[in-house]
Chains A and B, each alone.
Chain A
Amino acid sequence: MSGASVVVLGGGVGGTLVANLLAKSLKRDATVTVVDRSGMHVYQPGFLYVALDQANALWLARDERGLLRKDVDLMIDDATAIDPAKQVVTLARGGSLPYDHLVLATGSRLDREAVPGYGGSHDFYSLEGAQRLREELRRFKGGRILVGVAGIPYKCPPAPVEFVLMLDQYLRDRGIREKSEIRLLSPINRAFTVESASKMVQPIMEKKGIGLTTFFNVESVDDTKHVVTSFEGESLEYDVLVLVPPHRGAKVVEASGLGDAGGWVPTDRGTLQHQKHPNVYAIGDATDLPISKSGSTAHFEAPVVASRIASVLRGTAPKEAYEGRVMCFLEIGEGKATALRFDYQHPPVPPQPSRLWHWAKWAFNRAYWVTVPQGRVG
């Protein structure tokens, strides 16, 4: 297997971890190359805290080089095309990279233009979006804030619920909660997709006076009249509108004909291989799997892909399969949180909200840089 080449597109949670695990396992028997557009690794769960003025944006980004093992090559470049027949990736700066195995850890990109009038709204799904929303909230002196979802799938399904609960506390702390209305526009018939968690959250929302409109999938925004309209045909007025923007798969996936209509990679739910190209794998947001688009998903998928590639290169049968494992925290306000842990066979049974889970989330946020990318937590 000497000289085998593994190329990983994307230096997020999944790409970084899969590259480190492969380099550790294969040592000098293969070259592992990560291609990343920016060379900066951004901790996206922190956007929520930036938007609500609880964290400085500076702690959310680090140099990707510092998170990768020394024996992993890093190319700061943009992959523009993939030819799965010739097994080569074309780079924006003119070069190309041949591969024996390719990992698509290309994440998702925001497609705000897909919603007419989107420019009149805010979001916390990018660093600059979160900073812009933070400044809008600093200027806010009272009125009606609507929080909705403008496209499915989207990263971190609990985020809108966490946002309204944390926004309530933010406005109370500023002494303007009584002059404000907060309303969550849920795409489904309850606040959150996991029913057991929704049963915990909805009474808390009610107690705090947070409104809930169900079956409201945002379709368009009239930013002169300050009206948002749903696919289901309802319209609501707002003073501040916070939307989860529509997401799409990576441009390189779309340009290479490797994705579906939304740019998501058709992926086997167990082996994480591309359904047509067995030496191409997808992890994290990039897949078309109807599972949470979250760092946690990528984190649990990366060891499966690393193990399978290492087995193939060693000439043994791959054994590891992804079993749908996801673990995430859900902030419910008042300094409390719960946790959602599940896999394909076991639905989530969230524990009673407590301060312990809130602190666990906070500790995880702080410890992320020295644990997850290196595979120190499993």
Chain B
Amino acid sequence: MTVTTPQVQPTKCIDARGMACPGPLLTLIGAIRAGQVGDVIEVLSSDLGSKTDIPAWVAKAKQELVGVVEEEGYARFVVRKAK
């Protein structure tokens, strides 16, 4: 897993902490699909599964994982729409 501090300004930030359903990954997919190529989406997630789920979808869908930042009790995932 990439652990960096992204320097990019997100186009959209989604606070999905504590929202088990639909969950951070599904929300991220929706935001990426609704956005424009080049948009940067930041998702806050307290779900431990996101650490594997989100990078797996980003790789499968050929998007770009800009970074993952660990915070107290949650993580920030920053993804750029690549196509």
Interface residues of A (CB under 8 A from B): 151-153, 157-158, 187-189, 193-195, 215, 217, 231-233, 261-262, 269, 289-292, 324, 326, 328, 340, 342-345, 347-348
25 pairs across A/B with beta carbons < 8 Å? A153-B22, A157-B21, A187-B26, A188-B57, A189-B56, A193-B23, A193-B26, A194-B20, A215-B57, A215-B61, A217-B29, A217-B33, A231-B61, A232-B62, A233-B62, A261-B34, A290-B19, A290-B27, A324-B19, A326-B21, A340-B21, A342-B21, A345-B18, A347-B20, A348-B20
Q: Give every chain A residue within 8 A of B62 (Cβ-Cβ).
A: 232-233
| Nearest CB of chain A from residue B24's CB, rounded to whole Å | 7
With the chains together, A61 CA to B14 CA distance in Å?
Answer: 35
Q: Give every chain A residue within 8 A of B34 (Cβ-Cβ).
A: 261-262
The 6 closest A-B pairs by CB, nearest first: A152-B30, A344-B18, A290-B27, A193-B23, A290-B16, A157-B22
- Return the CB mask of B14-44 against A: 1 if under 8 Å, else 0: 1111111111111101100110000000000
CB nearest neighbor in B for A152: B30
| Nearest CB of chain A from residue B55's CB, rounded to whole Å | 11
Q: Give every chain A residue within 8 A of B27 (Cβ-Cβ).
A: 152-153, 290
Q: Give every chain A residue within 8 A of B18 (Cβ-Cβ).
A: 324, 343-345, 347
Q: Name B22's contact: one of A152, A189, A233, A344 (CB within 8 Å).
A: A152
Interface size class, chain B: 20 to 34
With the chains together, A289 CA to B53 CA distance in Å?
Answer: 21
Q: Give every chain B residue within 8 A of A217 (Cβ-Cβ).
A: 29, 33, 61
| Nearest CB of chain A from residue B65's CB, rounded to whole Å | 15
| Nearest CB of chain B from residue A344's CB, rounded to whole Å | 3
16 more CB-based (< 8 A) A-B contacts, given A194-B21, A231-B61, A290-B24: A152-B29, A188-B25, A188-B26, A189-B56, A193-B23, A217-B33, A217-B61, A261-B34, A262-B34, A269-B15, A289-B19, A290-B14, A290-B27, A340-B21, A343-B18, A344-B18
Q: Are A290 and B20 in contact (CB under 8 A)?
A: no
CB nearest neighbor in A for B24: A290
CB nearest neighbor in B for A344: B18
Q: Give every chain B residue within 8 A of A188 (Cβ-Cβ).
A: 23, 25-26, 29, 53, 57
Q: Are B30 and A291 in contact (CB under 8 A)?
A: no
Contact A153:B30 (CB < 8 A) given known A291-B19, A324-B18: yes
Q: Give every chain B residue within 8 A of A187 (Cβ-Cβ).
A: 26, 29
Q: Are A231 and B21 in contact (CB under 8 A)?
A: no
CB nearest neighbor in B for A214: B60
Q: Give every chain A residue within 8 A of B29 (Cβ-Cβ).
A: 152, 187-188, 217
Q: Name B21's contact: one of A151, A215, A262, A348 (CB within 8 Å).
A: A348
Q: Give every chain B residue within 8 A of A158 (Cβ-Cβ).
A: 21
| Nearest CB of chain B from residue A282's CB, rounded to whole Å | 16
